A and B are shown apart, each in its own frame.
Chain A
Amino acid sequence: MAHTLIAYVEDKPGVLNRVASLFRRRAFNIVSLTVGRTEQAGVSRMTIVVDTDEPGARRAEANLYKLVNVLRVDDVTNKPAVVRELVLVKVGVTAEQRTAVLQLVNVFRARVVDISAEAMITEITGSQDKVESFIETMRAFHVISVARTGLIAMVRGGAKISANPPLVAAQLPENGAAEDTSELSMSV
């Protein structure tokens, strides 16, 4: 099962390598991994989708915490969260096919971002299901290239993120996520 972990890490050289190396070494299968800066200077945010079961996700989380540069880890798999991916699909189209592509783009609320004589680039943002069915649909045409960003995720609601990890419980919590006990702001 896919688990979505958000890791806040120090923005230092080699940190991505440490995280990737950890998942490789412990034989986890990464589905997607994205990194970017956050609202706080010096802090990057990684969204890691990993194919594992519940105990595996707990182990991944515990191992991430062991990395000195990892500030906080959240498993948002079972939390109310907005999860998005951006995809660019380049399709080769004849003049007659263009309208058909444009119609599909409208249905999916995607966009056309580039048109040339024999090809179009379409862009879609959405949940994994949505972007995947869009890509499937576009296969009716001649798909030249697909570029995906991988998922990013954000928990709904106004709760502050704390840099203090939740107290560790070995017992697997019923709802899959450990209780967060601290409300301090994330500081580096």
Chain B
Amino acid sequence: MTKLTGAQMIWECLTLEGVEVVFGYPGGAILPTYDAMLGYKIHHVLVRHEQGATHMADGYARASGKVGVAIATSGPGATNMVTGIATAMMDSVPIVCITGQVGSKAIGSDAFQETDVTGVTLPITKHNYLVTRTEDIPRVIKEAFFIARSGRQGPVLVDITKDAQQGSAEFVWEPGPLRLPGYRPDLRTLPSELERALQLINNAERPLILAGHGIISAGARAQVLEFAERAQVPIATTLLGIGGIPASHGLNLGMMGMHGEAYVNSAIQQADLLLAFGMRFDDRVTGNLKTYAVNARKIHIDIDSSELNKNVRVDVGLVGDLRNVLQELLPGVQSADHSAWLDHIDSMKGDVAVRDIQSLPDTGHLYAAHVINDIWRITKGNAIVVTDVGQHQMWEAQYYKHDHERTLITSGGLGTMGFALPAAIGAKFACPDREVWVVAGDGGFQMTMAELATIKQEKIKLNIAIINNFYLGMVRQWQEFFYEKRYAATPLLGPDFVKLAEAFGLRGMRIQQRAELQGLVEEARADSGTVVIDFQVEQEDSVFPMVPAGADLDKMIRRPARDVLIETGADPDEWELGA
């Protein structure tokens, strides 16, 4: 039997798990592992901040469907990962984080760079481990990967003491099932519940599918479409469900929720049956729970039984992998004709889908909505777009039409600013042949822009669109609507992004007029290196429509049709409240 050091075992295990790239940052407590790295083929990407490593692992996982891996040292290295781990937890993304820990004898003594990382990350990981013995490393890493990618996916952290990395032991990689008696990623549903679900489905007059991230995680596109087409059920998606079914599909209504289209939210409120497929009734999609879809029966399919009846009481809850559950349901789903319901939704739709963008005044200024829409047109909808958090994120969701799964990568549940740039680096490593765009705000971009150096060092090609409105725009919008335009701490002065890009050895561009857009974007795409484009857009633009937090879902603030609110200085009383 071969004896390996714990450090070697880590790389051996990663290799056996099929890992090709890891994102990390060295330090004292993880140094033995870094030293052993040189003997292995896995590519290591040196990040500029450990938060970046976790977002890269996350972006890699979301783009590929595989487990992403991030590595950091103890203490500050590990605590820097916290935001990225929480982001992955909220969006159920499979990543494994490996952290160094002080020697096992020193644990509990407040040794240099000692932090109780398993304690810190306990509520934001799916599971975590502290490993103090070399011989436990292979089993724990194998379990970590299994837990991260099975069931409801999520982040797993493995904290390994320095002496466990340095010690030697026989390397045992046991084939076959793991001994995790308390772990049940494959809960099933009572057959009687399937029957009850079919009863409701086959008798509904105004059914509506609410499609979430689960469609993508479970790879259930084909089943959802078969279901929807046969029973003629329209589909609304969550932010993370975008791309789960083609945007161009006739039954796809688009995004629901706070910045969803008004007719989509109205359809939810008028439905008599909601079919929640792999979504969790987040407050951003339900609005006021007391008035949410009160006339609808509800069927909820989720892999996590604790999601059932959490926010919304449902009539039938089906637990399991969405694809499996749909496969069990499909034989009983009858063809139906819901043309009256579909026509009704169509009539509510009117021209609203294009109204916002059409009603923007032609001042020659750039509007973010135009920028996103133009990028969609120019890339023919085929790019992977990684967004940050804020107004630009919502405009991306509204104006970039995603036909393909895993082409919109965005922090939904946690809403983590600074996510886009590192996550896009991860996505590019997952899909090196794909065109990858970053769409970030000027605020969020400044949070993690040091990763431009990583891009340069790794020689990767991204297209980076900074939607620069000189504001923390989404917060400014709330201040405009709900705090009488008192813009406390939201005006934002950034660096010269063109010079910044150049300082990192990358190309920078600035676009201020819509007329310049097409040519310069084409030029950026054609450049073999990463290009940072500073889109200087209308500064006080707002995302419409909007359900104020906690308001009824169909009481939306709409953009005044005749003109832009800010251009007219309209009084809030004049805002249209869509019904």
Residues of A within 8 A of B (CB): 9-10, 13-14, 17-18, 21, 25, 55, 58-59, 62-63, 65-71, 163, 165, 167-172, 187-188
Contacts and interface: CB of A to CB of B under 8 A. Distances in A.
Contacts of A18: 122
A58 B309 contact: yes
B181 A168 contact: no
B347 interface: no
Interface string B242-262: 000000000000000000000
Contact of A167 (B123, B147, B190, B300): B190
B127 interface: yes
B193 A169 contact: yes
B304 interface: yes
Interface stretch (B314-322, B337-345, B552-560): B314-322
Nearest to A17: B122
Contacts of A63: 306
A9 B181 CA distance: 10
B78 interface: no
Top 10 A-B pairs ranked by shortest CB distance?
Answer: A170-B317, A62-B306, A170-B308, A168-B305, A71-B182, A62-B305, A68-B127, A168-B319, A68-B183, A63-B306
B200 to A, nearest CB: 12
A187 B122 contact: no
20 contacts: A9-B182, A13-B130, A18-B122, A55-B309, A55-B313, A62-B305, A62-B308, A68-B147, A68-B180, A68-B183, A70-B182, A163-B181, A168-B188, A168-B190, A168-B308, A169-B317, A170-B308, A171-B316, A187-B181, A188-B181
Contacts of B118: 14
A170 B314 contact: yes
Given A59-B309, A167-B189, A67 B182 contact: yes
Given A17-B119, A21-B123, A59-B310, A170 B182 contact: no
Given A63-B306, A170-B314, 19 more contacts: A9-B182, A13-B130, A18-B122, A62-B308, A68-B126, A68-B147, A68-B183, A70-B182, A163-B181, A165-B187, A167-B187, A167-B189, A168-B187, A168-B189, A168-B190, A169-B193, A170-B300, A170-B318, A171-B317
B182 A69 contact: yes
Contacts of A68: 126-127, 147, 180, 182-183
B184 interface: yes
Contacts of A188: 181
Given A17-B122, A62-B305, A10 B181 contact: yes
Interface of B: 118-119, 122-123, 126-127, 130, 147, 180-184, 187-190, 193, 196, 300, 304-306, 308-310, 313-319
A10 B180 CA distance: 10
Nearest to B313: A55
Q: Which of B122, B127, B181 has the most CB of A within 10 A?
A: B181
A75 to B, nearest CB: 14
Nearest to A186: B181
Contacts of A172: 309
Contact of B184 (A10, A17, A165): A165
A112 to B, nearest CB: 41
Q: Which of B187, B308, B313 has the most CB of A within 10 A?
A: B308
A50 to B, nearest CB: 15
B333 to A, nearest CB: 19
Contact of B304 (A14, A66, A169, A187): A66
Contacts of B130: 13-14
Given A65-B184, A71-B181, A188-B181, A170 B122 contact: no
Contacts of B305: 62, 65, 168, 170
A63 B556 CA distance: 34
Q: Which of A66, A71, A188 has the most CB of B within 10 A?
A: A66
Contacts of A70: 182
A66 B188 CA distance: 14
A66 B317 contact: no
Contacts of A59: 306, 309-310
Contacts of B304: 62, 66
B306 A66 contact: yes
A53 to B, nearest CB: 11
